[in-house]
Amino acid sequence: MDIHQHEEDPVAARRDRTHYLYLAVIGAVLLGIAVGFLAPGVAVELKPLGTGFVNLIKMMISPIIFCTIVLGVGSVRKAAKVGAVGGLALGYFLVMSTVALAIGLLVGNLLEPGSGLHLTQEIAEAGAKQAEGASESTTDFLLGIIPTTLVSAFTGGEVLQTLLVALLAGFALQAMGSAGEPVLRGIGHIQRLVFRILGMIMWAAPVGAFGAIAAVVGATGAAALKSLAVIMIGFYLTCGLFVFVVLGALLRLVAGINIWSLLKYLGREFLLILSTSSSESALPRLIAKMEHLGVSKPVVGITVPTGYSFNLDGTAIYLTMASLFTAEAMGDPLSLGEQISLLVFMIIASKGAAGVTGAGLATLAGGLQSHRPELVDGVGLIVGIDRFMSEARALTNFAGNAVATVLVGTWTKEIDKARVAEVLAGRVPFDEQTLVDDHAPAAVPDQRSEEGEEKARAGV
């Protein structure tokens, strides 16, 4: 017993230290807001601090996605299983995007948030600027998935390109059989290294949060927030309705999990997104946490990265409500037919805009330019508050992808439900230092044999 206690102490100490880290992030956000209001000129100059931190995280995304997918796919014996997971995930993403669109349409038509606002020449120019080069054709999007070289997928930072290369490598290793096992083991070691580097980068989170929040509050000011409060509050409430009612009901019915317990488990990731305004900053941690939760590597490796490009529920709601808002503000409301055709186009156009701060605004401008060019100038009305709406977009997208991973895992029977219960109850803590589960089975003795089989299948 003493030996066991001795082994557990260092883990507890590490956990305590990361607890202080996230308290520091909360303090940094509050300090950033204060600086933004008290010294807006200074606050705007702090923007590079936030940008630098998000860029550090983005630097890690391609290698993490590559390692996760290759380990997941390469260790599965039947390629059909990977195809089934991917097909199920894409089908679910399509349905949920449609539901999110419908909710956004309903609330947008009820609120009519744009009526009573006036368009100035300065605002019109800001809207036109957002539309420049914002739209791309479906052909361009599909060709953009193919990297220039095998290595450029990593250097370009494109999630879908990395996904393609990783899937090809995973299937190739799968076909190699036992000859590919040394390569898989090597990639497993690289994954541990990459996650350890990510753990080190996370200590810069308070500095990044302070710079990002101070800059956006300093640039926006209280006046813009007051005048556009209706669209902002309406959008936040709509996102909340979607997450807690729609996703919550699905999660309870399919997986028997309470949405609050899952969101509580991902609390630190939500704080990270809130302070950086980018769901991409939490992508690597979502992969690690979903694997720790008990979802198999193949399901996590395929569903999470794909979801970041194809499961943008928050962006869908935003595009719907922002389009209706812009048309109302311009005094030229959209008919129901126009609403549906415009928004279906926007959902397709938004697929390459995953996780990028401000990409929703560019997609909105590009969609309006393609369908109703006379409304593009109205986009300038929400340029000032888009960053605040970006918070809700990113949080909703992230929650949608976490729920999707659990649901796909449940449907494909690639989830250890006993472990999920233990993790969500807090009895199997997540290792914040390494972000990798090397000793997870020992924490749940009665599930040792089942998890041992799972680990063997996953090639760990």
Between the alpha carbon of residue 330 and those of residues 115, 117, 371, 374, 381, the distances in Å are 8, 8, 15, 9, 10
Instruction: Give residue 411's pLDDT.
Output: 92
What predicted TM-score, i.e. pTM, was given to this entire model? 0.75
Least confident of 9-18, 106-115, 221-230, 310-319: 9-18
Is 333 within 8 Å of 384 (Cβ atoms)? no
What number is the average pLDDT over the span 65-71?
A: 84
Please write the tens of the pLDDT for every residue from 27-41: 888 888 888 888 888
Instruction: Give residue 313's pLDDT.
Output: 86
Please give the backbone phi and psi of residue 3, each rounded to the nearest 5 degrees, phi first.
-65, -45
Please write the tens of the pLDDT for every residue from 76-86: 766 667 778 88
Please write the tens of the pLDDT for every residue from 138-153: 676 677 778 888 888 8
Pairwise CA distance, residues 201 & 281, whole Å: 11
What number is the average pLDDT over the span 281-309?
A: 85
DSSP reduced 3-state for 415: strand
Query: CA 223, 224, 228, 232: dihedral to nearest 10 degrees?
Result: -110
Angle between helix 313-329 and helix 386-411 axes, rounded to 10 deg:
140
What number is the average pLDDT over the span 259-278?
A: 86
| Of 409, 413, 280, 423, nearest in space to 357 by CA | 280
Is 305 within 8 Å of 60 (Cβ atoms)? no
Residues 6+ apart with CB under 8 A from 419: 293, 294, 428, 440, 444, 447, 451
